[in-house]
Amino acid sequence: MKAKKNTFWALFFILLLGCAFKGSVCLMCANRDYLPLLEKVISKSRKTLYISELYFHEDHTTGRLIFLLNKAVDRGVDIKCILEDSISYNSGSVADLSRIGVQAKLDGEDIFSHAKFIVADGETVIVGSTNLSETSMDRNNETNVLIKDKIIGGWFNEYFLAAWNGEKEPESVSAGRFRMIASGKLSDTFVELFSTVRRRILIIIYGIKIYPDEPDNPVMKVITSLADAQKRGVKTEVVFEISDYNDTLNEMTKRAQEFFEKNGIRTFYENRKTITHAKLVIADDSVVVGSSNWGYGGFKLYREANVLIKDKKLADKFEKYFEKVKQSGNYPQGGL
């Protein structure tokens, strides 16, 4: 059984690493798919491996990653890792990563680093919502994509090195079906995207803060464009996280849910027993995944990593994921 499993992954990665000459998305990477793919990306890296994460929580699951990172260092891979400085245990993780030869450091105090991506050899990228922790990788609902493309990988390389060196990050750029979205540009991307949608807008939101008295706030502009799409007859549905421990999050979500419903947007809650940390937008045949929550900070202030992909097959796969999360909910439309 183990030999068959290893053969499967070997064949999978041969196909994966060879199928994206034109920048195709090779895999939707959600929930329990993330960890085995990340392990393979680390194991296959040969020259560089750059990691930008909110945190690195040391536990049983991430211990496997430390082992693989150590092996990568031993074979000569240049590994750099940036973690957010405001997370208390990140300083210990930086110290432990440094002991195995990873060049690790905390981000500066001038910006909140919320991006979650890994880029290997300037070509293979995993980007999305998953944090490096047992909870995130083994339990949560999370949404990511794995992409192999030299242009996209090069952009993420440049983005990482700019953060590493304290320089200005690259601007948003399009390459084929992809658009890499620079920090501070996500709300503009959503408004543009929603203005032309004709069939469906399906959204999973972890954290949201609305500003009803600030119509020019980027969050409210996005919600207005979403409501306008609904008025045009577009199917608009949003699934919110409901927490069994975070009352502050639930209060903000409830205010947003009521505002959405008032504007004709159908809303649902996922299963209280599962943390739905995913950040997903499906708009007709386009998908946006990444790290940003729906707040002024996530839209304008923080260092984030988001990508837009125009791909009908991918959008349809993510729609199935959306429906699965929606149907798992314990709470009917509009109820908390």
d(CA 243, CA 152): 35
Backbone torsion region of residue 202, taken as left when φ is above 0, otherwise alpha when ψ lies between -120 and 50, otherwise beta: beta
Residue 251 pLDDT exceeds 80: yes
Residue 214, both tokens: 């600030």
Over range 37-58, report the average pLDDT.
Answer: 98
> How many CB atoms neighbour CB 319 within 10 A?
15
Query: Which tokens in the block code for residue 41?
Result: 């990306």
Quote the Cα angle for 56-61-65, to 5°: 65
Q: Do the Cβ atoms of 52 and 163 come closer than 8 Å?
A: yes
pTM score of the predicted model: 0.90
Question: Which residues are paired to 282 by β-bridges?
Answer: 202, 287
Confidence check: pLDDT of 25 > 90:
no
Domains recognised in the chain with CATH numbers: 17-171 (3.30.870.10), 181-327 (3.30.870.10)
How would residue 199 be classed by pLDDT, with cut points 50, 70 and 90? very high
Residues above pLDDT 90, as percent of the chain = 85
Query: Strand 306-310 relative to strand 78-83: parallel, antiparallel, unpaired?
Result: unpaired
Residue at 263: amino acid letter: N
List Cβ neighbours of 277 (8 Å cut-off, separation of 6 or more).
129, 130, 131, 136, 140, 141, 142, 206, 241
Residue 233 in this model has a pLDDT that exceeds 50: yes
Counting residues of the chain whose pLDDT is more than 70, the rounded percentage is 90
* pLDDT (mean) for 135-153: 95
Dihedral pair phi/psi, residue 167, rounded to 5°: -105, 170
Contact predicate 285/315, CB 8 Å: yes
Residues pairing with 268 in the sheet = 239
Q: What is the pLDDT of residue 108?
A: 86
Question: Tokens for 32?
Answer: 């329990």
Q: Is the pLDDT assigned to residue 12 strictly greater than 80?
A: no
Residue 138, pLDDT above cutoff 90: yes
Distance in angstroms (rounded) separating the CA atoms of residues 332 and 309? 31
What is the rounded CA–CA span in Å between residue 92 and residue 90? 5
